[in-house]
Each structure stands twice: as structure tokens, then as C-alpha cells.
Structure 1
């Protein structure tokens, strides 16, 4: 049955009714209704995000995470609601403990895409997050990812962004110490510059790497050299084909894959302690078995720039190949 939303009050009721996950049910009809009636639903979802920013402790300390928050920034992204852009920028300046409670893995997996999807054309606002030294470094990285996507979408100029990356990375390098938060931001800059074909700033990148300002577990000189050796059009196309280089266009399709909606299969058979000890000398808990299987699945030979076989959508070198 289709859900009709005629007023903002009804949109509020729909969003409120799906704030918690119950019995693994995915609220597809409710989300479809919110998407179908943006005039009524967008103001309500914007208010939800504003409330989080104004009362972060309330949302960060709840026993049950309010899924209405995630639904809001996903749906607003698909609707290209530019009024969400400054609100998301404000949210990403909150302290890490709050960000972790509110966004979880989405802090690094989705928030950059949300910023790109809701971008209102004000590049200075986006740069202000990248340059905010009080912000959590991976939140600053969301702005870097958003800039990459906006270049790939043709909304920002590639060279202008690359030269901005170069200037900021040099500035940060002058004030950073080994293992500092500044180096996290520099590494994020280099990672996203690589996806934009970094030939014009490659010498600066090499200098940063030689000075130990870039995390070599994330990217090394060979990665930059490999990118530059390929045709620029292919580098940009490959980056855009990766979901991390795309705006967020299918909120329902992405959210319904969340593990909280996947009903678990029959419980794993638990071996007796003595039987298990015979099979595993290190006595590793049985629950770790799925992770072992995953690691075996990606042990095949995979190019560092190819999609990771684990299905994350990331390049192998930035996922299981790190």
C-alpha cells in the first residue's frame, strides 16, 4: 500500500515511525513516500539534522541510534537538497566521540558523498572544513572526497582543485609532526589527488612522501607513478566508476544493504572447547570464521588499482590490499 504524505506533519510522523529498526524490517515504503513528497519531507529532514547539531549529546548518548538521522542525510542527498550542505558541514565539525555515534562508518564511507550530493556551489565553505584544524581529521577528509567527486562531476575545475590540494598540503606539512593529525589530512589529500590524475603536482607529492608526511600504508610513490603512466581520461573514468567517486543517487538501494536489515541465518554450530582446540591451535573464537573466509576470498592476485574483490567498492590497494 502506498503511503501518502500531504503535510509536513505527516512527513514528520513517517520519519518518526521508522526511527528504530524493528525485526530487521527495511522501511522501503516509508522512504519512497518521503522521496515522492519532497515539498513536505525536505523541511522535516533538514530539521532532523539541525536538531542533531544543536543537541549532539542527546543523539550521541541514546541507547538506540535514531535511524531517522541516517535516512535524512541519505534521502536529502538523493534529492540534491542543497540546504543540507551547510548543515552537514556544521555536523562534521563536532568532536570525534559524537561523530562516531552519529555517523559510524558513514563518516568515511558516505559523508564525503553526501557533501558532494548536496553541494550548494559555495567552494569556500567546503574549503573551510578542510582547513579547520579543530575538526576531526577524517571529517576534514570528507571535504577532500567531496572535491574529488565534484571534479569528476564537472562542477569544479580539476587543476584548480589539484593546485589547492598542493598549496594546503604544503602548508600543513610545515606544521605537522610525525604521526600528527595534519598528516592524516595530507594523506587524504594525496589519495584523492591520485584519483584526479596528479601529474601537475606529482613532484610536491613525492617531496611530501620523502619527508614522511604521507602514510605509506595508504599510498606510496608507485601508486602515483602508476596513475601518471595511464591516460588521464582512464584515471578519471575509473575514479568516477568507483562508488566512492560518485554522488549518492540511490539512498534506498544503499541503505537496504546495511547489516541491521539482514536477518541472520541459523546460528553457527559451536564446537566444544576440546574439539575446537584440536582444530585451532591458537584457540581463536569461532565467530571470527567469516573474516577468515573473507580474507581468503581476496587473496587472489588483484591489481592494486582494480576494485577490491571483497565488494567494498574501493580500490584493492585502499582496502584489503593495505
Structure 2
């Protein structure tokens, strides 16, 4: 636990930037780094180098903290940074966006201006020219460089005529291009800067069809001033300097952050909502409405699915966290006591909470109930919370544990646990890398240690499925074939646990696509109703539009007064012989009905 800033060195402090919950701006850590001044710059650049290292590929190759490191470069912007920017600005757009957040945002213009040597501005302009001429450099980055020229003009370190000549040269060099994006963006930027030479240039560009019609039109230049708008340039340059001096305020308005914390410890951070992000959360719903929806899911059963209650609780999850957790705890208690399932409320509550662990609308600390749910005996957990709840819990836990590894290690190394449960827990580490809570290097180290532990255990009990899950994880991390872990898996003939062979091949041969494989095959985001339907805790007939058990309050708009309570409409029921979900399937497969035709 971190008690004060003296408990952690600069490198660790920088690395911790990426370990806070998703949507949380670590203002306390950033403020501490800013207070340390120039001494933090080597650590920031070292982390950023990991993003630009072309030899680093695959899941977790670009650490999540580099975005914040990039926005802290204003702590001490020195000309020596030009060499790093020369490499960085020539990277692919995905790499640049990993650091800058969006390739179009103005921080790049501000920092490129700040690292210029005012005593050697001519050489600096030649460097900018080399970037503008480079086809590898994104047009969006080139626009930032053009605008940086006029920051120099406002600061009187560059003559206005020199800046104009550079712009004229760059646009005229591209006059043979039709519908050119770079020319269009530059000329659109010149509308605010003003100047007769740019108005004339715009006319020439329009005549030769150099500008994109869907980006800028002739009419856009009508209001353009013939005079250079120096006040505009000075205000823009001053705004850029303020952004560099106070990146916390700038990032507080960034769409990625809905919360902030002054704490230095990512695990125990106390967070406050950023006021401007109220639009991420729905308008307040009256408590009786929330209680009615909670009651509806508590009264649900195999044949009655309260669709609208689930949808509304999912939409207003920030008002229902505690009562949903209470339903989960009650379900865990009932399952432990061997009680007969009488409600699907605990299942729906657990699913709603797990599905919203990564939302920016609400932050909650619910790792303990989820871990307790995982620790239920397999049959009792399945009976009360469904066949697939463990998958949803594993997907949620990276956000709740925020990089903690011991809770999951303990469960994987517990030889008394069900092998399927142990194998399922391995995915936690891969998802922690994907979400940025765990470094790629630490994850690989953990997988190797687990493999060694399981190999020793295998001599007595056999650990095929957990090893298969580790093999899946190694493939998702794109470990090379000559890696010791991969060689051992091949030698032992270990197959895949859940990962398809095709997806494993993609990750191994095209590491840059591993993130997409995790997103589409492992995480597989789906609407809440589809997730519930695939969970097989409700009969197929419960999802028919005319068979939902409806209450009047579910048919009225959220923000109107609820209608007087009416008895529920009768539910349509199957008149044929009902097959219990745990009974043998009538198709003769010798499997339980819930494991066979019930899913069809």
C-alpha cells in the first residue's frame, strides 16, 4: 500500500499511471510527477519508447500509461526531445493514437511548438518540412505542424513572411492532386488565421479541384479576413501553453475520463465524478421505479423473464448497485445452504453487475462477492447463477481487482478446485493485459510460473485443462514458437481450451491483430438481453414478445409518474410436457437438457 509520495520512486509512479480503473484520471499521481520536475522526463520517455518500438508487437505491446506520459511531456519540453518526436511522428496512426488519444487533437501542436529551439528556428522549420514531405506522416499530424509555424509567428520567433512561404510551398507542391485531404485541412485552418495571400491561394486551389468538397467549400472562405488575425494566433498559442502547464485540467475535459482521484494507490483509490460527465449517466429515476424493477427481477423464474426491468436497470445501473449486490449475496448464501432455486434474481443481478464493470457511468468495488461466487461448488453455482456466469465474472474481475494477481493465482493453484474453474481463471491475466492493468512482461512471467507449478502437480493428478488455458493465453500474447513455454506445450501435445485454432494462428502470425481477436472472440460484447438469452436460465418461450410478464410501470416512460399498479397480464405457457433443465434430454444424447437441446 502506498502511504505517501516518498514510498514510490519515479519509474514506479510513471508505471502506475496505467493501473487505475478505466475512466479514472489519476490526478494525484500526475500532480506528484509534475512537482518532481525535469527528473521525471527520462522515465516518461522510456515508457513512450515502448510504444514506438517496432519490435514490440501483440497484446499489451503499447502500455496503457503512455497516453498520460505523452501529456506530461510539457513538464520540461526541451529541444532534446526532437529526436524522439522525429521517430514518433513517423509511426503508424494506431501507435500515435495510443499516445495522443486522437491524432487530430491539439496537444501535439502545443508540444511540437514547445520543444523548438528559439535560437535555431530556421533549422527547426527544415525539420518540420522533412515531416510534411514524408508520405509516412499522417496528414492530421502535418496539419499540427503547419499550425505550429503560426505559434512561432505569434511568439515572434519566426517572421510571418517565412511561415507564409512554407505554407505556399507545401500547397503548391501538391497542386497536381485532386481532392487532397492535407491541402483541404490546411486551407480550412487558414480561414481563422486570415491573410490575403491565403484567400488567393484558396481560390487557386478551388479552381484546380485540389480541395475536398466534403471538407471545405468556396463559401467557407467568404468571411475570411484579408488581414492576419494576430489576436487569434496569440490566444491560441497562450491556450497551448496553458495546456502544457496544466495537463490535468485539459484531460479532465477529455472524453475518456469520467472520474478523478487524488490518491496514489490504484488499488485503494477513492474517486470523484467529473461534473462535466453527467451526460454519461442517465437522469435520476425515482427510487420507487428502481425498487419495482428490482422486484421484477427478484420474482423472475425459468418461464418469466422481465425484459424491460433488466433493460432499465442496465441503463440506470448507478442507482441499483447496492441492492443488486445484495441479491447476489443472498443467492450465494442460498446456494451454499443447498436451498432449491426459486428465483433467477441472483443470476440477473450478477450478470447486470458483471456487464457494467467497465462502464464509466459507475465505479463499484465488488471483487469479494464475485470471488465468493466463483468459489461456490460448480453444481451449486450453475444451478443458481447459470452455466456461463463464470465467464462473465472473469471478464469483470480485471476491472475490480485492477492488476492484483494473487486472488486468481490462489484459485488456479488450488488442486482441490474443479479443473474447468481453474482453467477459466487463466483468462483473467490476458484480459488484465488487454485492459492495461497488467504489463505484458509480468503476465508472461506469471504464465511460465503457473506452467511449472502445474507440471509438478501433473505427476500426481493431471492438469490438462489449466495447461490448455495457459496455451491459449500464450497464443493470445503472440509468444514465438521458440519460447520455452510454447515449446513445452508443443512437446506435450497440449491443445486449445477455448481459443479457436484459426484465432491462435492469427495471433501468432499477425501479433498486431491480437487485440482485435481478444475483442471479438474473447470479450464478445453483446446486448444484455442477448447475453441473458444465451445463459439458458430462462425458457426460450420467455423471450417471445407476448410472453414477458409485464407490469404497468414497465410500459410507461421512465420520467413520468407510474400508473396505478395492475395485476400482471397472464403469461403464455407451453401446454406440452415440460422437460426440467437438469433432466436427461429427450433427444437421447444422454446429456442434461440444459447442456443439449435447451440451447437450440
TM-score, structure 2 length as denominator?
0.39
Distance (whole Å) between structure 1 residues aligned to residue 22 and residue 91 of structure 2: 32
Distance (whole Å) between structure 1 residues aligned to residue 93 and residue 44 of structure 2: 23
Distance (whole Å) between structure 2 residues aligned to residue 82 and residue 76 of structure 1: 12
Matched, 1:125 2:127: yes
Distance (whole Å) between structure 1 residues aligned to residue 6 and residue 217 of structure 2: 53
Cα displacement (A) at 1:22:
1.3
Matched, 1:89 2:86: yes
Matched, 1:188 2:185: yes
Q: Over residues 102-142 of structure 1, what are the superposed CA-to-partner deviations in whole Å (9 max), with x where a residue is unaligned? A: 43414444322221222234221112111112322222222
SS in structure 2 opposite 1:134? coil
2:158 to 156, 172, 175: 156
Cα displacement (A) at 1:236:
2.5
1:299-318 pair list within 5 angstroms:
none
The runs of at least 4 consecutive aligned structure 1 residues that moved more than 4 Å come to 242-245, 266-272
Cα displacement (A) at 1:193:
3.0
1:228 to 222, 225, 231: 225
Q: Over residues 237-278 of structure 1, what are the superposed CA-to-partner deviations in whole Å (9 max), with x where a residue is unaligned? A: 134435897343321111222333315535898995xxxxxx
SS in structure 1 opposite 2:187? helix
1:117-266 pair list within 5 angstroms:
117-120=114-117, 121=121, 122-174=124-176, 176=177, 178-179=178-179, 183-229=180-226, 232=228, 235-242=229-236, 246-247=240-241, 248-249=243-244, 250-263=246-259, 264-265=280-281
Partner in structure 2 of residue 22 of structure 1? 21
Distance change >3 Å, CA 191–CA 266, structure 1 → 2: closer
Distance change >3 Å, CA 21–CA 260, structure 1 → 2: farther
Unaligned runs of 5+ in 1: 273-322
Distance (whole Å) between structure 2 residues aligned to residue 4 and residue 118 of structure 1: 30
Distance (whole Å) between structure 1 residues aligned to residue 137 and residue 22 of structure 2: 37
Partner in structure 2 of residue 309 of structure 1? none
Distance (whole Å) between structure 2 residues aligned to residue 32 and residue 170 of structure 1: 45
Q: Who wins on radius of gyration, i.e. which is larger?
A: 2
Distance (whole Å) between structure 2 residues aligned to residue 53 and residue 159 of structure 1: 35
Q: Is this contact kept in 2: 1:147–1:161, CA < 8 A? A: yes
Distance (whole Å) between structure 2 residues aligned to residue 165 and residue 245 of structure 1: 23
Distance (whole Å) between structure 2 residues aligned to residue 81 and residue 101 of structure 1: 22
Distance (whole Å) between structure 1 residues aligned to residue 56 and residue 184 of structure 2: 30
Unaligned runs of 5+ in 2: 260-279, 286-292, 294-306, 309-600
Q: Is this contact kept in 2: 1:81–1:118, CA < 8 A? A: yes
Distance (whole Å) between structure 2 residues aligned to residue 228 and residue 91 of structure 1: 36
Distance change >3 Å, CA 192–CA 266, structure 1 → 2: closer
Bigger shift: 26-35 or 240-249?
240-249
SS in structure 2 opposite 1:41? helix
Q: Is this contact kept in 1: 2:52–2:88, CA < 8 A? A: yes
RMSD of aligned Cα (Å): 3.4
SS in structure 2 opposite 1:260? coil
Distance (whole Å) between structure 2 residues aligned to residue 65 and residue 26 of structure 1: 19
1:34-45 pair list within 5 angstroms:
34-45=33-44
Distance (whole Å) between structure 2 residues aligned to residue 20 and residue 83 of structure 1: 29
Distance change >3 Å, CA 125–CA 56, structure 1 → 2: farther
Distance (whole Å) between structure 2 residues aligned to residue 262 and residue 17 of structure 1: 19
Distance change >3 Å, CA 97–CA 43, structure 1 → 2: closer
Distance change >3 Å, CA 63–CA 46, structure 1 → 2: closer
Q: Over residues 188-238 of structure 1, what are the superposed CA-to-partner deviations in whole Å (9 max), with x where a residue is unaligned? A: 321333333231243222111121111243333344342225x53xx2313
1:59-78 pair list within 5 angstroms:
61-62=58-59, 66-78=63-75
TM-score, structure 1 length as denominator?
0.69
Partner in structure 1 of residue 570 of structure 2? none
Aligned residues: 262
